Amino acid sequence: MITPLLRGQPIRRKLLRVIGLAVVLGLVLAAVAVFVYDATTIGPRRRRDAHAQSDLMRSITTPALLFDDSTAAGENLDTYKARPDIASATLYRTDGRVFARYVRPDAVAPAPPSKFGKREQVTAGHLELMDSVVSDGRLLGWLGLRYDMRPLRYRLGQYGLIAIVVLLALAAAALVLLRVLDRAVTAPIQRLAAAAGDVERTGDARVRVPASGDGEIGVLGDAFNRMLERLQEQQGVLQTNEARLRLALEAATMEPWTLPASPAGLAALDAQVHPDDRERVRAEVERALREGELDVEFRSAGPEERWTALRGHAQQGPGGDVRQFVGVAQDVTRRRRLELQLIQSQKMEAIGTLAGGIAHDFNNLLTGIIGYMGFAQRALPEGSRVRDDIEQAEKAARRAAELTTRLLGYARRQMVTPAPVDLNGAVSAVEPLLRRILGEHVTIETELAPNLWRTTVDATQLEQVLVNLAVNARDAMPEGGLLRFATHNRTVDERAAAREAELAPGDYVAVDVTDTGIGMDAAVLARIFEPFFTTKPVGQGTGLGLAMCFGIVKQAGGHILVESEPGKGSCVSVLLPRLVEAAAAAEPAVGGLLVELVRGSESVLVVEDDAVVRELVVRTLRAAGYGVREAAGPADARASALAAERLDLLVTDVVMPGETGPAVAEAVRERHPAARVLYMSGYAADALGQRGVLTAEIPFLPKPFTPAALARAVRAALDDAS
């Protein structure tokens, strides 16, 4: 029956007719299913509901009949207002009189039955139920209930909606099926036909037909694709290699480069080279013209310093002459900068090593000079001219010691010893030094606030910060200008701290370093504290100065704020936390050499490889009443420790040939566990503490020192109860 409808028709029309017949058949089956469902489900369900309502109402109206309360019974029946499918409900007495009644507004009250008894019947679309109300075997009355049993026509609207939904679902399924079949059958055949026509017409070997399964269409498409498969694979390998080469060039910041070996080409290259490098680049190009390989790095012309590396080989023409160079150009600016930074770091490391060696030996010499001057001064009568001369020489030696400390500070090899500091005093102390460093074209002004709070910081490092800021300000004023130091107390509240990263709220002591220089833009301000970042020409700055200042201030618990605009100068504010503890007792005056020695009677072992310093220490401690043993090195120290019955204190140099002071102290304490240790050195950054920080747990006496300072340090080490 269906076959004649499909015979001789195109594939697409066949599909449409088959799907249409399937939709009609689906609708018929759905209608049959609805009628069967209504007949087998809806009627019985409504009967069960009617009986349940009757049973419930008879149960709740029993008390009303017992107590003859028709009002309560009426109220119970009125609850059927919420059930529109109940047309009426009547409660009868045993004698047949109506006790209470409920009638739906659109319904008619039923007539009393002529005979009471339990019954169930369907009349005019209603299910009528009559059943007795019984309590403890006693008949109280009868309940008549009329329940709507609407015929099928009342539900056709609902079923019509279901039919529409089913129709839409079938239509959607039909469209999906048509689409699937179209893609699986019709479209592959059309694509195959079109592709075959394209290949025949254009000869384009890139044409491909998508796979269409394992059927005849799929076999035909696979055969068509295999014809060009080998060529396609070769093209894929070529494209992959090209992509890899492009990624490699991008990762290496390279790009293909061609340089014609003509005057115009060489002139174009010359224009891209910095004037200082042009002569060298020309020489390399001339050599490459002879040898065939070009490898040269140069600074690019332009306002920003960039480095470019050209690497390539020469291509020759038919006559053997070089036609062009072909290769890659690479931006090597970052590598060049890293190399320069490494060189600067190595220079700083070399300076630090040299400064450490000089400080160690020079401070030993100064210790002997200052100490023996003290003994010589004690041997002369008061008022002696020679005694005054010695005092002046001692002051000169102290200034030499300050220079040694400053040398270590600039080389970043000094010990960090935080102590209470008066910022006004620090600025006043560094001002004379700055006047010599900055020159006459820079005017220095200071504004020192009265009642300035104190702070805790390493005094040498604070001086280093002030000097670095001043030197930066001088470089920003090449034509000269005004440099101003202003100190003040500053309280940072929560709101102000939130505007600045890493700034904690609290009380600070501040010094503002203001210049009238060229200023900085926002881009430079964002990077000024980065290590190795500098705006100065190559060779004129390491980029470490401000980074080092920032680290010193942050280590002290402070912060640095910078304000600047191009052409309007800069203001650098150094904030150091306020010292809230009570000020420590003042140290005894050490300006003169004739201070009375602090005395003691304990047993002391002195270990010092420098004979002059060792003799000075031994002589001083014996003069102060101590029992002293001396050792010229670690080996002698071990022997002396073994020979001593009692040893209260070890006074040892830190840096000695063979072993360090801490190693000697460990060996001595094996024999005398209770012995305390006092270290002394002119340079001990690599031997004590961590990262050069001198902690309070390490008794340390820096060289050079006076006999009085030595006696105080020995007494303090012995009296330390920790």
Sign of CA dihedral 53, 55, 59, 61: positive
pLDDT above 90: percentage of residues in the chain? 16
Q: Chain-wide mean pLDDT for the chain?
A: 78
617 pLDDT tier (thresholds 50, 70, 90)? very high
User: For residues 506 and 577, is the Cβ–Cβ distance under 8 A?
Assistant: yes
Helices (H), 67-129: 70-77
Q: What does the pLDDT look like over 384-400, one tens digit per residue?
A: 877 777 777 777 777 77
CB burial of residue 193 (10 Å; 0-12, 13-18, 19+): exposed
Asked if the bond preceding 105 is cis, omega within 30° of 0, the reply is no
Sign of CA dihedral 653, 654, 655, 661: positive
Return the domain boundaries, the chain. Answer: 11-150, 252-331, 336-414+595-722, 418-577
Residues shown for the chain: 722
Strand-pair category, 481-492 with 442-447? parallel
pLDDT above 70: percentage of residues in the chain? 72
When pLDDT is averaged across residues 586-606 and rounded to a whole number, the result is 67
Q: How far apart are CA 677 and CA 698, in angstroms?
A: 8
When pLDDT is averaged across residues 163-188 and rounded to a whole number, the result is 73
Q: What does the pLDDT look like over 690-718, one tens digit per residue?
A: 444 455 567 888 888 888 889 999 998 89
One-letter amino acid at 572 equals V
Tokens of 526: 């964002």
Question: Comparing C-alpha atoms, which of 673, 679, 674 is closest to residue 697?
Answer: 679
Distances (CA, A) of 128 to 60, 131, 145, 240: 20, 10, 6, 87
Strand-pair category, 138-148 with 126-135? antiparallel
Which CATH superfamily, name and number, covers 252-331?
PAS domain (3.30.450.20)
Predicted pLDDT at 577: 94
Residue 558: CB atoms within 10 A of its CB come to 21
Predicted pLDDT at 626: 94
Q: How far apart are CA 363 and CA 527, in angstroms?
A: 39
User: For residues 372 and 616, is the Cβ–Cβ distance under 8 A?
Assistant: yes
Q: How far apart are CA 240 and CA 446, in angstroms?
A: 69
Q: How far apart are CA 276 and CA 307, in angstroms?
A: 13
| Partners of 316 in the β-ladder | 322
101 pLDDT tier (thresholds 50, 70, 90)? very high
Q: What does the pLDDT look like over 107-157, one tens digit per residue?
A: 888 888 888 888 888 877 788 889 988 988 888 899 989 888 766 555 566
Which CATH superfamily, name and number, covers 418-577?
Histidine kinase-like ATPase, C-terminal domain (3.30.565.10)
Strand-pair category, 700-702 with 676-681? parallel
- Of residues 12 and 120, which shows the higher confidence score? 120
Provide the strand spans (E) within 236-321: 254-260, 293-299, 307-316
User: For residues 625 and 599, is the Cβ–Cβ distance under 8 A?
Assistant: yes
Q: Helix and strand tally (H, E) in the chain?
A: 21, 21
574 pLDDT tier (thresholds 50, 70, 90)? very high
pTM above 0.75, yes or no: no
- Tokens 């893609």 locate to 183
Domain pair 252-331 / 336-414+595-722, same fold: no
Question: Comparing C-alpha atoms, which of 84, 120, 119 is closest to residue 103?
Answer: 84
Q: How far apart are CA 187 and CA 180, in angstroms?
A: 10
User: For residues 624 and 617, is the Cβ–Cβ distance under 8 A?
Assistant: no
pLDDT at residue 410 greater than cutoff 60: no
336-414+595-722: CATH architecture:
3-Layer(aba) Sandwich (3.40)
- Of residues 269 and 247, which shows the higher confidence score? 269
Q: How far apart are CA 54 and CA 60, in angstroms?
A: 10
Phi then psi for residue 652, to 5 deg, are -135, 145
- Of residues 193 and 562, which shows the higher confidence score? 562
Question: Comparing C-alpha atoms, which of 476, 470, 482 is closest to residue 443?
Answer: 482
338 CB-near residues (< 8 Å, 6+ apart): none
In CATH, what class is 11-150?
alpha beta
When pLDDT is averaged across residues 660-677 and rounded to a whole number, the result is 90
